[in-house]
Amino acid sequence: MKKAIIALIVLILAAGGSVGAFLAVKNGKEKEKQQASKVLAENELFSFDPYSPTKIVFSKGDEVYEVVKQNDKWTLTSGEFAMDQDYCQLICTYFSDLTAETNYGEITDEKLEMYGLTDPDTIEVTEPGGTHILKVGDPSPMGDYYYVTADGRDKVYAISYMEGSVLKLDRLLLKNKELLTYSLYDIKEVIVKKDGKTTLDLSFDPDTQEWSLPDEYSSLKVDPTMITTVLNNLVRLESEEMLDEKLEDLSKYGHDKPHGELIVKGIDGTERKLSISFNDEKPDYCMVLFEDGQVELYYKADLSIVDKTPYDFIVQNTIAADSASTKKLQLSYNGNDDTFEIDMDNQKCKVNGKEVAIDTMDNYVAFDNFFKAASVYNFAGLDIEAKPQLKDPVMTARFTDTDGNTVKMDLVTRDDSTLYVFKDGKYIGAYVNDTMLKGRTSLSEFYIKFKKIANF
């Protein structure tokens, strides 16, 4: 369906090019100019301000859709579904300067029958100057034209096949193709579920203007930039194609066993529930099923939120302290208990009572690398459901700042390669790789290098 909208845009742009070509002809011989003007006048169907219409009626037999414009928004009077705003405006723009490519003379019953205009598709556009009606019949045998008639005109006209194809009544063309009807600022909560279990729950507090995860993640810092980036992309999405309108057989697109479910709740109390499924025949796409049975096609990458977890929306490290505001670090690690008294203003550090100058480049770099290795904890993942005990920590670091406030960090073995992180005696719900403590660029490495320089 997006292709049809694009086609309509192309037609409007092409129309501008046609006008330019016509102006060029006007500079030719006077006879050719007069002839071109006459042809143009014969085939010029409508002319009005494209932004002035207030009503459009699409119909085919008993199928009728009346759309009105209120507060710059097009709305279906029956309220059956939300309208595609771009399509409505493009129809107005296209109609406002519509010129046929040729005509077949005066209207007769025989011609109406021959050209499929006895039961046509009809579009009525109402603007302050009146109502303009276009009836669209059959395509030509060669597939290069559609036959049409226009109100106030006594001839049968031909418009290009592409033009006619986007004007034929199609409910799916009329329907809003946006994934969500919310703006970023209208969303209160976003939930992702898989197999009936909630895998992601993002909530927005209108009073504080802050996003948050459930209470069990309260020890972790939310990354608001990541949340707004992902959701900002989400609210801009439009379907690549409108598929079945009222799906009954859920297995047709895999919605009997969907990949996931996306629930978006608005501040106004409304919500949208979307079922998302994958299809091996379209590996780059996913099929989205809406509550009303509409199925739409989207790029899988655009709906990657269905595979995201809270880990993707947190600041993926915690920094226990900053050397500039720390006066003491007490470190218990690898059988050693060391105390570092820090005076960054004077570029000095006492290690177990022994004063060490850190005013040279080598000494400062060695100290800075060591301090960061002890104070920065880069998470490898989350394990909220775990309930580890603070017992036999493999490392403990206590930081005291210049105001006397303390932060205590502990690492406890989780498995052969990861360690639970505790802050001030409480498990924060995250773990780090043991490469933080051993191997290159680890605490062990930088501890040994600083110890060698400081000679403690």
Model pTM above 0.75: yes
Going by C-alpha positions, the residue among 336, 340, 333, 342 that lies closest to residue 410 is 333
Give the mean model confidence (pLDDT) for residues 113-126: 96
In this structure, of 40-54, 71-85, 388-402, the range with the lowest mean pLDDT score is: 40-54
Q: Domains of the chain by range and CATH? A: 46-174 (2.60.40), 187-312 (no CATH), 317-454 (no CATH)
What pLDDT was estimated at residue 456?
74
Query: Across the strands, what pairs with 192?
Result: 200, 262
Q: Tell me the per-residue pLDDT of 56-92, one tens digit each, with 9 for 90 and over.
A: 999 999 999 999 999 999 999 999 999 999 999 999 9
Torsion angle (degrees, nearest 10) of CA 207, 213, 217, 221: -70
Q: Tell me the per-residue pLDDT of 228-270, one tens digit each, with 9 for 90 and over.
A: 999 999 999 999 999 999 999 999 999 999 999 999 999 999 9
Give the mean model confidence (pLDDT) for residues 139-152: 94
Is 111 exposed, middle or buried, given 0-12, 13-18 or 19+ CB atoms closer than 10 A?
middle
Better-scored residue on pLDDT, 414 or 5: 414
What pLDDT was estimated at residue 382?
97
What pLDDT was estimated at residue 6?
61
Q: Tell me the pLDDT of the chain averaged across its residues.
A: 90
Is the confidence at residue 19, as pLDDT, over 60? no
What pLDDT was estimated at residue 34?
45
Q: What is the 3-state secondary structure (H, E, C) of the chain?
A: CHHHHHHHHHHHHHHHHHHHHHHHHHCCCHHHHHHHHHHHHHHECCCCCCCCCCEEEEEECCEEEEEEEECCEEEECCCCCCECHHHHHHHHHHHCCCECCEEEEECCHHHHHHCCCCCCEEEEEEECCEEEEEEEEEECCCCCEEEEEECCCCEEEEEEHHHHHHHCCCHHHHECCECCCCCHHHEEEEEEEECCEEEEEEEEECCCCEEECCHHHCCCCECHHHHHHHHHHHCCCECCEECCCCCCCHHHCCCCCCCEEEEEEECCCCEEEEEEEECCCCCCEEEEECCCCCEEEEEHHHHHHHHCCHHHHECCEEECCCHHHEEEEEEEECCEEEEEEEECCCCEEEECCEEEECCCHHHHHHHHHHHHHHHEEECCEECCCCCCCCCCCCEEEEEEECCCCEEEEEEEECCCCEEEEEECCEEEEEEEEHHHCCCCCCHHHHHHHHHHHHCC
Give the mean model confidence (pLDDT) for residues 322-344: 95
Share of the chain above pLDDT 90, in %: 81
**Please, are residues 186 and 268 in contact by the beta-carbon 8 Å criterion?**
yes
At 112, the pLDDT band (50, 70, 90 cuts) reads very high
Q: Tell me the per-residue pLDDT of 365-390, one tens digit each, with 9 for 90 and over.
A: 999 999 999 999 999 999 999 999 99
What pLDDT was estimated at residue 116?
96
What the block records as the tokens of 285 is 């796409």
Q: Tell me the per-residue pLDDT of 308-323, one tens digit each, with 9 for 90 and over.
A: 999 999 999 999 999 9
Give the mean model confidence (pLDDT) for residues 386-397: 97
**Please, are residues 417 and 428 in contact by the beta-carbon 8 Å criterion?**
no
Q: Tell me the per-residue pLDDT of 163-177, one tens digit each, with 9 for 90 and over.
A: 888 899 999 899 999
Give the mean model confidence (pLDDT) for residues 435-443: 93
Better-scored residue on pLDDT, 181 or 314: 314
At 7, the pLDDT band (50, 70, 90 cuts) reads low
At 125, the pLDDT band (50, 70, 90 cuts) reads very high
What pLDDT was estimated at residue 182?
93
